[in-house]
Structure 1
């Protein structure tokens, strides 16, 4: 079964860019948090800001997580089908 490309699906380049940005954010955030942890009021303020943005974009976050879970399920199903095809071909060859 051939995989059909849907133009509405996000491209691999976008996913690679998102991963790169996430890595850079984590590295920068780690350095920032080590400095910010010395100032409790600043940590509280950062928590308030983070909570605000999580609340503001909660629907987008949930939708993104749901898409990721669905993509993972589709990937596993596709790999299972490929494995079944390989096993069937191996049985036919004998």
Structure 2
């Protein structure tokens, strides 16, 4: 499983570990990934995602999974999250038309 956030698209970064004598060695900075279950109000079901702690705070700040997905760019979402976003938009369009 890749070390990539399913909602924000954040993945590992490459940098240097710098010693006291200023010797630089390559290292990785891993994202803080957590397994969470987020509920969609409009779809009426829950989804399991592997997201960063920062993305979880953003979901909370925006008012839930539905609002986060509607505002998110589909290019940075994972394929599973993009499918949930498409289903959500379809459900909201049906509700608005009725």
TM-score, scaled to structure 2: 0.27
Structure with larger Rg: 1
> Which one has a larger percent helix, Structure 1 or Structure 2?
1
> Which one has a larger percent strand, Structure 1 or Structure 2?
2
